[in-house]
């Protein structure tokens, strides 16, 4: 009977497999972490976060209008709140991007 057909594999084989698998997964995670996102991907991320916030706020405002018959006020307020939420999402994402870049020394914070 071959080793692959054995219904009760040796525990040391399983430990060896897990060790090799974990080593490969760690190497892949490290390689993925070292990759820099492209400008297009960052732009699409920022745009989708903004549009998602605006659409969500507008949709919730419209649903509010349907339940309480306040058209167009819920829609208008939802649009404004969605715009603010989308802007906040983009600002947070940009701050995360800048903090990941590390200190560049050209931000002018230490100049008098």
* pLDDT the model gives residue 14: 73
Residue owning tokens 């399983």: 14
- Annotated domain spans of the chain: 39-101
* pLDDT the model gives residue 75: 94
DSSP secondary structure letter of residue 110: T
Do residues 85 and 57 touch, judged by C-beta distance below 8 A?
A: yes
- 89-101: burial string, b at 16+ Cβ within 10 Å, e else: bbeeeeeeeeeee
* pLDDT the model gives residue 112: 45
Q: Could you tell me which residues come within 8 angstroms of residue 12 by beta carbon, excluding any fewer than 6 positions away?
A: none
* pLDDT the model gives residue 33: 76
* pLDDT the model gives residue 86: 95
* pLDDT the model gives residue 16: 84
pTM of the model: 0.60
* pLDDT the model gives residue 11: 66
| pLDDT mean by block of 10 residues, the chain; 112 residues | 58 79 90 80 92 96 94 94 95 86 57 48
Residue 1 in 3-state DSSP? Answer: coil
* pLDDT the model gives residue 8: 62
3-state SS of 41-109 is HHHHHHHHHHHHHHHHHHHHHHHHHHHHCCCCHHHHHHHHHHHHHHHHHHHHHHHHHHHHHCCCCCCCC
């Amino acid at each position: 009977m071959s080793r692959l057909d054995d219904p009760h594999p040796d525990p040391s084989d399983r430990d060896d497999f897990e060790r090799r698998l974990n080593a490969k997964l760690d190497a892949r995670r490290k390689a993925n972490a070292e990759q820099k996102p492209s400008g297009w991907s960052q732009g699409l991320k920022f745009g989708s976060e903004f549009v998602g916030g605006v659409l969500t706020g507008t949709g919730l405002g419209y649903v509010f209008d349907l339940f309480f018959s306040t058209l167009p006020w819920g829609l208008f307020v939802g649009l404004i709140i969605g715009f603010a939420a989308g802007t906040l999402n983009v600002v947070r994402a940009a701050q995360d991007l800048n903090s990941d870049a590390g200190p560049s020394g050209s931000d002018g914070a230490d100049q008098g």
